[in-house]
Structure 1
Amino acid sequence: MKFDLANMRSIRIFALVALCLVLAGCPSDNVPLEVVGYNHTDRSIGDFYVNGGWGAFLMKHSGGGTYTCCVVVPPVYKPGMKATITWSDEAGENPRSREIAVQPYGPNDFGLFAVHFLRDGQIKVFVTPYNLGHPDYPLKGDEAKL
């Protein structure tokens, strides 16, 4: 059996589901996603969290290199869904928190829960199978530049 990128992604998602069910006891009707962060700002972010789960340290104008486990979402998007994003400054101090609307997603979008700290102070989150830079990635244009 040849292991290509699609097979590896399937194996990784299966392992996340199994890990979540066995260790975290999450309901089987939720989908676990790896968390990835992108910092489009001029200042590093000491840490960030999604619904209490650790994201990572994010250098200024960087991201996408660290994936953490996991955030769970319902298998079907529910209008009005929000995620609580908490982050600190580059020294790990001055924590802030904000509820952010989760962008609509479909059944083929599972893989990553991406968090973007944008230059204008906005935070956007997406459920997506793609990394930043892919032509089908949901964040486009100048906003997507790190």
Structure 2
Amino acid sequence: MSSIATASSATNRLSAWLRALRMLPLLALSFLLAGCHAHYVPLEVVGYNHTDRDIGDFYVNGGWGPSLMKHSGGGKYTCCVVVPPVYKPGMKATITWSDEAGENPRSREIAVPPYGPDDFGAFAVHFLRDGQIKVFVTRYGLGHPDYNLKGDEAKL
């Protein structure tokens, strides 16, 4: 009888151990996310293509952004880019993009202009007609009077 009790006890311990082991990834993810929110602010990515050519896809610091038809944008958001809660001078974002066929990848480091806590909403990427790329942390959409891009430059 004691060998049956011992086997049952060992099985219960093994079961408890396996249940705990299954919870480990969830626990680790919780710690990572808690740390992330303490040091960074997650923002959705939105793109605008002011050029005469489609953009197959683009990335911000390795995070995917939606494809952009020529002279369009603002309608699709993807998750996520993280930024520090307080702007740090000299901040840059690496923007990588390809043409409409997903070919000819290019990459450029772009300066992130200063932002404040009231600006959190989205990380906007603008591919401009003159070849420049501008990025903003903003709570406004293109066309809003307080949006960072104005005038002819803002036209899609």
Alignment match of 2:75 (pick from 61, 65, 78)? 65
Secondary structure of 1:91's aligned partner: coil
The structure with the larger Rg is 2
Superposed counterparts of 1:1-146, under 5 Å: 26-146=36-156
Q: TM-score, normalised by structure 2?
A: 0.78
Shift of 1:26: 2.8
* Letter aligned with residue 139 of structure 1: L
Q: What percent identity do the matched residue pairs reach? A: 87
TM superposition score normalised by structure 1:
0.83
Partner Cα separation in structure 1 for residue 31 and residue 133 of structure 2? 29
Aligned residues: 128
Q: Which runs of 5+ in 1 are unaligned?
A: 1-18
Structure with more of its chain in helix, by fraction: 2
Rounded to whole Å, the distance in 1 between the matches of 2:142 and 2:30 is: 25
Q: What RMSD in Å do the two structures reach over aligned CA positions?
A: 1.9
Unaligned stretches of 5+ in structure 2?
A: 1-28
